[in-house]
Amino acid sequence: MTKVLVIQSSALNENSNTRFLTGKLVERLGRDKDLEISTRDLAANPLPHLNETTLGAFFTPVDQRSAEQQEAVATSDQLVAELQDHDILIIAAPMYNFGVPSTLKAYLDHIARAGITFKYTENGPVGLVEGKKVYVVAATGGVHAGTPRDFVAPYLKAFMGFIGITDVEVIQAEGLSMVDQKEAAIEQALEAIESI
């Protein structure tokens, strides 16, 4: 059984392109493998932003944390455990104001943990999350790939590489706010999903 974690971040539901395309991707992967799917919907259940207590807890040894710090770090610990427990991650990544939705950024802030998901060495940072595959389903209203505004998929690839996940495949649907381009962009993304 292959365990798949689907991370949704679009604020929209029925009209969300990333929710539609991630659904198709799950269907496609399910044709080759027996999947056990879990979903984390960051729009429906947003995570708290990092604050001083959480950061303090991150950098305090486990056995020295105050009760408040233990409570503050629990969400992050749970998210890291959830990540480690899955084989494949599917990240739905709409572009919101040139970046990922803040709900998705908050998730990434919780799973970037020094000493747990990455560490610093003499030779620079080393990712500690091994053996995972990530699919990024990126959707944008405009067309940005290959331009200096291409902040979603390259950012997520860099982030995942930082924590050790280098097997990242991107399905990108661009120009979705352009009436004359949307249909072709969705069709192209569906073809990319089919050809996985």
Ligand X SMILES: Cc1cc2nc3c(=O)[nH]c(=O)nc-3n(C[C@H](O)[C@H](O)[C@H](O)COP(=O)(O)O)c2cc1C
Q: Interface with ligand X by CB under 6 A: which residues?
A: 10, 12, 16-19, 94-98, 139-142, 176-177
Distance of alpha carbon 38 from alpha carbon 98, whole angstroms? 28
CB of 42 to ligand X, least distance (A): 12
CB of 156 to ligand X, least distance (A): 14
Nearer CB in complex with ligand X: 96/107: 96
Nearer CB in complex with ligand X: 14/32: 14
Nearer CB in complex with ligand X: 47/93: 93
Nearer CB in complex with ligand X: 3/105: 105
CB of 117 to ligand X, least distance (A): 26
CB of 94 to ligand X, least distance (A): 3
